[in-house]
Structure 1
Amino acid sequence: MSEGSWREVFGHAEPYADQVDGIETALETAREGGFTVVEGACGTGKTMLALSAGIDLVRDPDSDYERVVVLTSVKQQLRQFEEDLETINANLPGEWDPVSGLTLVGKADVCPYNREGVAEFDDGVVYDRCENLRERTRDLTGEGGATTAGSLAADARSQQTGLADSGRSDGGIRLLESAGETASYPPEIPTYDDGGPAGGVEYCPFYAQYLEDLPDEGDEGGSRAEAVPFDLTDVGLVTPEELVSLGMRHGSCPHSIMGAALPEVEVVIGNYYHAFDPTTTGAFTGELLNEETFVVCDEAHMLEPRVRDLVSEGIADTSLRDAVTECSRVLQPLEFDREGRSTESGSKTADADLVRAELNDSDVSADEIEAVRDFLEALREELDRRVRAHLDGEHRGWKSDLMELEDAEIPLRDPQVPAEDEISAWAREAGYGEKLWVRTESVGAVVARIINEAEGEEKSRAAPAVGRVVGEWYRRDHTEYFREVELERTWNEEEPADSWRRAYNGRLALHNCVPSDAIGSRLASFGGGILMSATLEPMDVFTEVTGLDYLEGEDRPVATRRYGLHFPEENRESFAVAAPKFTYENRGAPGEETPTRRQYADAIGQVASVPGNVLVGMPSYAEAEWAAGVLEARVEKPVLLDAASGDDATETLKDEFFAGEGKVLVTSLRGTLTEGVDYGGDRLAAAAVCGVPIVNTSSPRTKAVRRAYDDAFGDGFTYALTVPAVRKARQAIGRVIRGPEEVGIRVLVDERYAREEWDSVRKFLPEDEREEFQPVSPDMLGLGLDRFRDRL
């Protein structure tokens, strides 16, 4: 493509000046193997900017880029990329092929059986049930198999069940429907009669058809893309719903089609875990993570915390239990055989001969399996001992009132002093040495293989996952990694009435405190890209904590750009209210009547009285509940309270907020309603943020992260706590003005936003925002609000 050819890809008539600068910077930087970091306020057109640059590189014959991979943590933004790609395709020059695109989702979203809740499928079992059916289908059709994939698919079509009074009925034949299409298969899982005592082997007809469409291994130049039942050069963007529809129409597995199409499409839209979660990248998207990919990291202010969670590890108490059981199931036939006893009633695992044969084909011995079993059993006993000791010390009488227990963390070392954790020290003193730690993963893999072979089904087993984390626990250092026991509230009636396991899910957690290496090394695997968000400042902090500094050290350029709001300034008013700091020391508990709370109640009451919808963001859900109670007594409009709840409840609350006359929505700044939600048009007239939403600094994990950041960057409080908190506040405030015609009020309430003092956060606001957010005293806020309304 020639200079400026990106304009032919650009989906609108004329780009903004900021888009021109951003696209051309991204192109220049990416051609040198580098990355562009863009902070762009709402209205910058970041999505179109990133897609235009990436697609131009992919379509350029002189470029090495073959695809664009978009990563975002917010569903709303995922849909925005889909919409902008469709806009690009709708406005391409007439002779151009449409840009092919695919949105990545999991099996639960695209499996027709799971979507319709038939054939014993549901979200809880879809992955294991799917893998089991695939394995059986491969066994039936592979080398030396009983039949062919084409025959299995044809047989499924012939097994349609005559049930005229339920489901779709064509002459009494019931067929599976999903995504507006009808497959030629019944809703029940078909079986192949292999002559065995079980009466037939279940298989997946969709997967059988996919296997039938794959080229033979001997076909020169054949690829998985040949199994995709649509023309990738002509189809444009394929959404998950369309993928299911196409798969249903062809009778082929939508998830397998998605995997086959991935390397061939020009734009792949997914989530952060598609690039940063070790399990997902190894099993599915690894082939996209190379120098031929231009990566777009959207909502990049969330990159650091999301990746920190993805690269942290854990071993659940129940997983330890299951891994011990799996090891015993493999050992039991050998023990019974030595004693001359039958294994039929003692174990579901096959006979001793199978176990010996599998062990002979591996580098694992029965003695090693026994040693690992004993180690994991002892580890679980140690976990149990520590949880009981913690509860005895912190909650005397806990056995008589399990319902009163709350989530808890039990640190395994002083979070502020890097040192060997107590579990590692216990193991060392008990004689569990290095070889046992590092061999547990290999042993677990062999145990799982033996059980799957014996049971004739491919299922996820606990032993390999437990073994992998055990190995990581031993190998990782004690400065950047923090180990603790996590207790998550649950309720399990099957556990004894006086057991903590009735009230808790217990977990040995291995936290990666500083994910910069994980982020930087993953970004380095791409050819180049864009990282973008509305809130990335301070840029130097962002580039450090995301490992981009490492790339610059490898002579890969990193360019930074910031584009502010370019909508009319007269349409907005912004205040930084110098109320006392909203800290626990100043405000007291939510039920207390303190001078600080009275000032905040007055401030949010005045903002909430603005006509139209008003968003109030508080540092926590407990403070949100307090604020909602205050506002119910002060404003003459409905007050909606967002609690820590599931996605469905949040969506319902959002819909209620948007419907009808003006309301007040009170939420936590650490929730999902203050970022990634579109409040465009007249959906939001004002927003107030109370306090600086720094996470709970008393948490052991938070203390460990802060200490690790002290060692890595010199100022853990600023890098790990303060800067992310200010970004949260800016995200909430940024919901107000979303377009050139919109009018709104933005209020930050806390003197740390208003004054330049030792603990001020004002310096972390970009310069133009510092100019716009006028410092005002609490008693002058009402006057400022009145003047703005009078001016309109």
Structure 2
Amino acid sequence: MTPGDDWRDVFGHAEPYPEQEDGVDAAVAAARDSGFLSLEGACGTGKTMLALTAGVHLVRDPDSDFERVVVLTSVKQQLRQFEADLRTMNANLPDGYDPVTAMTLVGKADVCPYNIEGRAGIDDDTVYERCEGLRERTRGLTEETTAGSLASRARSQQVGLADSGTQGGGAQYMEVLGEPTPYPPDTVEYADGTTEVEYCPFYAQYLDDLPEEGDASEAVPFDFTDMGLIERDDLVTLSASHGTCPHSTMGAILEHAEVVVGNYYHAFDPTTVGSFTGALLDEETFVVCDEAHMLEPRVRDLVSDRVGDATLRDAESELARVLQPLTLDGGDGTRTTAGLSEARDLIRAELDDADVTTDELARLREFLRDLREELDRRVTAHLDREHRGWRADLGDLPDDEIPLRDPEEPAEDEITEWAEREGYTDSVWANAETVGAVVARILNEAEEEDKRRAAPAVGRVLGSWYRNDHTDYFREIELERTWDETEPADSWRRAYNAALAVHNCIPGDAIAETLGKFGGGVLMSATLAPLDVFERVTGLTHLREEENRPVERRTYGLSFPAENRASYAVATPKFTHDNRGFPDEETETRRVYANALRQVARVDGNVLVGMPSYAEAEWAADVLADVDKEVLIDESSGDDATERLKADFFRGDGKVLVTSLRGTLTEGVDYRGDRLSAAAVCGVPIINTASPRTRAVRTAYDREFGDVSASDASGGVGGGTSRSGFETALTVPAVRKARQAIGRVIRGPEEVGVRVLLDERYARDSWDSVREYLGPEREEFQPVSPDMLSVGLDRFRDGRN
């Protein structure tokens, strides 16, 4: 059964909040006109249920063209929230309504039976290469036999092993998450005479079930239409127990799920879209972009390209291995004449099919060899210039950047200029992607090794380097700290991974191109203000002005009782490097901040302190050592260490947790209930403005948006002043970071907490004030002087007692 005109039929709760009612109506109306809703809603607005309700209602409306909802988020915590709200929605549907079919996209590592059980030499590091190799061989074997026969062979091997009672007499079939499968514990081989080819029986069974024409969902061996939210474990056990591939099954279900939950890269990463999720990006899809304040920086990374020195080396080696059989005569004992002839035939056939010549292979190999030498020369010269004596202490070198043009003056980059001087013409760059792809195909067929080839990645980046302009794109050499003992002791390659990078400074066009493929949707976050900036940098303005697609706006502040919270913007001196000095200096600015942090840290319960960097976090932890609480410090570390730190923070008596605002503990983390009583942010966390990449982005935004009128505070278009590249690219995202951290405190109507912004730019209207970027809660953050902070904190505490 499908709902009628009232979206309340699918709303998961008894009654919507007023903001939810208004927001659902706005989202539905915009989407019916192929438009979008920009929604800033504070915690407690119910944004997740709002967006799901609007999307599911449209999908189930027989008069709507929408067939599915695609949810995109960059934060795992929010992904879990969508799953929870989907369960709530299904649990509260009216009698007779079909459950909403939904699925969360996961990677091969999460669903591959062999990876889950640690079999067949497959683990998290090898699963993608091994999977692609096994699939390719399985498909290849279907030219000699049928996919069904391959699956049957594997089933018969399992039976034989079980009957033999070998290996301790236990069951000789593979189990996945406790469920038996019809296959032996490892991959199997197809033997035909002297040839033995390893293949994946799970994938073979999927191919056998797949109809030659028609709907791929016919290959799904279970009825998913009444399952509601299809959990990862259910997907794996139901698929594997039937002997079919869980990852392929997930792909077959995709187009039939009413709601698909995924990450930004499922829509914006060209590789992922091309290989897996492209069918979801059309006018029949209602898109929900959650945590949309992160859309611009995340997509900038996805549509930028880089290739490391080691990858260039590996691609050169791959080209050499393809060229070698074409130059050998077999007289050196390297190969038999028959073997050489077979290899040559394979290579020439692939080259002919791709219209690639041997000369093009050789020319690209020469180019990569010379490019690595030029890279070596430039890195060495940079280190000699900037870090004299660097060879004596490789372990002390920092991450670094080497710009290939003036970041503030668009011009052709120095690598392109070098290539032209060396005689490497446009054709070398332009053909690199095609040549790289054919090299990978040849090696995958000729070499019995499951490995991700380097040549395609190199070809893709060289093509991007060649195609993209020098105005909106910035090219540089990135030096990332690493350590490789196999490199010479005096080589920078021991300490660095160097990469050629081409950065998309203004990803708005790429975002708009992808958003434009959808039929409409909602882009939402607790921190989108100012909406005119958000809409310009994400391409929504382009869609409205150039494609006549409506873009509606809604802003909802905190709806929880105001008396439960105290919010202060403290007029401490600007927490900038010029004012505060280095962490080991005793400056007046640091003295003022240390005193303010101690006052906030003494608030009863857990206190979160957000600093502009990890180095400053260490300083803050030191000055808080005399507070009568345990002080925990977050360091740049892996997920496991961060999870342990959170658990320690939540356990026992009140503590202070000090972290960087660039870390993972100030966004998307659930501090619900009594987990957090206060939060303080020091300074406006603007990223390093001296970085060449940052300067290039700022300059590009100056050109793109500096002469465009900003919206007025009421949300209308026009009537404002132009925003500089510094504001658009740096200040606004920095304030959003601060607001995200502060927003961790109050997560429900019964919660009580203190929120403190420390820096006069939050407190005063001045040339560099950021008060206008604080969104709908701007007036709540009372400007106070540093010496009045303690008075305000005491008054709030006493008022609660």
- Mapped partners of 1:165, 1:364: distance in 2: 52
The 3 A distance-change label for structure 1 pair 545 and 189 is same
Matches within 5 A, 1:78-117: 78-117=79-118
Deviation at 1:185, TM superposition (A): 2.4
Higher alpha-carbon deviation: 89-98 or 186-195? 186-195
User: Is the Cα–Cα contact under 8 Å of residues 139 and 145 in structure 1 kept in the other structure?
Assistant: no
Q: Report whether the alignment pairs 1:781 with 2:789.
A: yes
Pick one of 335, 351, 364 that aligns with 1:344.
335
Counterpart position of 1:204 = 200
Q: Tell me the equivalent position of 2:312.
A: 320
Name the CA distance, whole Å, in 1 between partners of 2:560 and 2:340.
69
Shift of 1:490: 1.0
Match among 404, 408, 415 for residue 416 of structure 1? 408
| Aligned residue among 176, 179, 183 for 2:177 | 179
- C-alpha deviation, 1:143, in angstroms: 6.0
Alignment check: 8 A CA contact 1:329 1:349 kept: no
Q: Is the 8 A contact 1:152 1:208 kept in 2?
A: no
**Percent identity over paired residues:** 68
Instruction: Give the 3 Å change call, closer, same or farther, for CA 408–163 of structure 1 in structure 2.
Output: farther
What residue number does 1:391 align with? 383
Supply the distance in 2 between the matched residues of 1:608 and 1:651 (Cα, whole angstroms): 22
Tell whether the 8 Å contact from 1:689 to 1:749 is kept in structure 2 after alignment. yes
Q: Partner of 1:561 in structure 2?
A: 554
Paired position in structure 2 for 1:580? 573
Aligned mate of 2:768, from 750, 759, 777: 759
Q: Which deviates further from its counterpart, 383-392 or 149-158?
A: 149-158
Shift of 1:408: 1.0
**TM-score, scaled relative to structure 2:** 0.95
> What residue in structure 1 maps to residue 712 of structure 2?
none
Is the CA contact (8 Å cut-off) linking 2:613 and 2:660 kept in structure 1?
yes
Distance 2:391 2:336 in 1: 37
SS of corresponding position for 1:96: coil
Aligned equivalent of 2:615: 622
The answer to whether the 8 Å contact 1:153/1:206 transfers is no
Partner deviation per Cα, 1:281-307 (whole Å, 9 max, x = no partner): 000000100001000000000000000
Deviations 1:308-367 (Å, cap 9, x if unpaired)?
000000111111111111111111111113x85554289999632322233233311111
2:594 matches 1:596: no
What is residue 744 of structure 1 aligned with on the other side? 753
Aligned to 1:140: 141
- Matches of 1:353 and 1:145 in 2, distance apart? 26
Name the SS of the counterpart of 2:306 in structure 1: strand
Change (3 A) 1:160 1:138: farther
Change (3 A) 1:157 1:478: same
Q: Any idea what SS the aligned residue of 2:502 has?
A: strand
CA contact (8 A) 1:159 1:186 kept: no
Distance across 1 between alignment mates of 2:746 and 2:148: 62
- CA contact 2:433–2:462 (8 Å) conserved in 1: yes
- Residue 146 of structure 1 and its aligned partner are, at CA, apart by 9.1
Other structure's SS at 1:589 match? coil
Tell me by how many angstroms 1:654 deviates.
0.5
Contact 2:684-2:738 at 8 Å conserved across structures: yes
Instruction: Give the 3-state SS of the residue equivalent to 2:458 in structure 1.
Output: helix
Q: Are 1:548 and 2:548 counterparts? A: no
In 1, distance between residues paired with 2:598 and 2:139? 65
Alignment partner, residue 395 of structure 2: 403
Q: 1:717 aligns to what?
A: 726
Runs (4 or more) in structure 1 with deviation over 6 Å come to 161-166, 345-349
| Counterpart code for 2:319 | C
2:719 matched to which residue of 1?
Answer: none
Kept in 2, the 8 Å contact 1:611–1:662? The answer is: yes
What is the CA-CA distance between 1:399 and the residue it aligns to? 2.0
Q: Which residue does 1:769 correspond to in 2? A: 777
AA aligned opposite 1:31: R
The residue type equivalent to 1:376 in the other structure is L
Equivalent residue of 2:381, what SS?
helix
Work out the CA distance in 2 between the residues paired with 1:158 and 1:370.
Answer: 51
**In 2, Cα distance between equivalents of 1:731 and 1:89:** 30
Distance in 1, Cα, partners of 2:527 & 2:340: 56
Corresponding position: 1:257 with 2:249 = yes
In the alignment, structure 1 segments of 5+ residues that lack a partner are none
The farther-off stretch of 651-660 and 133-142 is: 133-142
Deviations 1:101-127 (A, max 9, x none): 111011011112112222111111111
The residue that corresponds to 2:456 in the other structure is 464
Name the structure 2 match of 1:699: 691
Question: What's the offset of the Cα at 1:561?
Answer: 0.2
> CA separation in 2, counterparts of 1:630 and 1:240?
46
Output the CA distance in 2 between the equivalents of 1:411 and 1:424.
13
The whole-number CA distance in structure 2 between the counterparts of 1:269 and 1:314 is 28
Contact 1:330 1:349 in 2 (8 A): no
Distance 2:442 2:691 in 1: 42
User: Which residue is 1:11 aligned to?
Assistant: 12
Equivalent residues of 1:140, 1:147 under 8 A apart: no
- Does residue 432 of the first structure (1) align with residue 424 of the second (2)? yes
Is the 8 Å Cα contact of residues 631 and 655 (structure 2) preserved in structure 1?
A: yes
CA distance in 2, matches of 1:470, 1:194: 42
Query: Residues of 2 paired with 1:107 and 1:142: CA distance?
Result: 26
How many angstroms apart in 2 are the aligned matches of 1:632 and 1:175? Answer: 57
Distance 2:663 2:317 in 1: 39
Contact 1:153 1:208 in 2 (8 A): no
| 1:28 equivalent in alignment to 2:29 | yes
Which residue identity does 1:579 align to in structure 2? T
Question: Does structure 2 conserve the Cα–Cα contact (< 8 Å) formed by 1:726 and 1:764?
Answer: yes
Q: Determine the C-alpha separation between the residues in 2 that align with 1:583 and 1:257.
A: 53
Cα distance in 1 for residues equivalent to 2:691 and 2:798: 47
- Cα deviation 1:631-650 (Å, max 9, x = unaligned): 112x1111000011111111
Please name the residue that 1:609 is paired with. 602
For the pair 1:667 / 2:676, whether they are aligned, the reply is no
Contact kept? 1:328, 1:373, Cα under 8 Å: yes
8 Å Cα contact 1:119/1:188 also seen in 2: yes
Paired residue type of 1:447? V
Question: Do the aligned partners of 2:148 and 2:205 also contact (CA within 8 Å) in 1?
Answer: no
Given residue 779 of structure 1, which amino acid in structure 2 is its aligned partner?
Answer: D
Contact 1:141 1:148 survives alignment (8 Å): no
2:625 maps to 632
User: So what's the TM-score if we normalise by structure 1?
Assistant: 0.96
User: Residues of 1 paired with 2:19 and 2:144: CA distance?
Assistant: 58
> Which stretch shifts more, 244-253 or 72-81?
244-253
Provide the C-alpha distance between the structure 2 equivalents of 1:109 and 1:98, rounded to a whole number of angstroms.
25
RMSD: 1.9
Whether the 8 Å contact between 1:137 and 1:207 is mirrored in structure 2 is: yes
